[in-house]
Amino acid sequence: ARRNALCGTMMIQLADAVHELESWKQGVALVVTGAGRAFCAGADLHLAQKVINTPEQGQLMSELMSETLDRIAQLPMISVCAVNGAAFGGGAELTTATDWRVFASGATARFVQTQMAVSTGWGGAGRLTGIVGRRQAL
């Protein structure tokens, strides 16, 4: 996917992987990183425009991803986002779901939703406030 943007299938696969990790007894850590030069651009907006036809469908996607990221935050293992490039929108929200965030030189995380006149639908704003405090998050 372009800049590791998440399509619907990838969102479901992520939710399924988190479900498996919740009962994983052998592992001690989870490392999330992107392929290539980007970490994650969030939702694949081009695909979402074609697939999401109603506000209810958009709400279902937001609920799935919010729940999935909340579940990552609650995993019984150490979790790290190894941010290797741009983390925009939902990708920035994903970085807030892990215990630790490690950024490569030049890597960035940006909550671009306000520029698009939308809210952080995956719970990232609330998690960011918990990580850096309200004043820094704003």
The CA distance from 13 to 3, in Å, is 18
* CB distance 5 to 14 below 8 Å: no
Chain centroid offset of residue 91 CA: 4
Banded model confidence at residue 116, pLDDT cuts 50, 70, 90: low
Structure tokens given for 17: 């992987």
Residue 46 scores a pLDDT above 70: yes
pLDDT given for residue 120 in this prediction = 63
Q: Render pLDDT for 79-114 as a digit per residue (tens, 0 to 9).
A: 999 999 999 989 999 999 999 999 999 999 988 776
Q: Render pLDDT for 1-45 as a digit per residue (tens, 0 to 9).
A: 688 999 989 999 999 999 999 999 888 999 999 999 899 998 888
Task: Give 42's DSSP letter.
Answer: S
Banded model confidence at residue 62, pLDDT cuts 50, 70, 90: confident
What is the pTM (predicted TM-score) of this model?
Answer: 0.87
- How confident is the model over 119-137, as a mean pLDDT? 76
pLDDT given for residue 118 in this prediction = 64
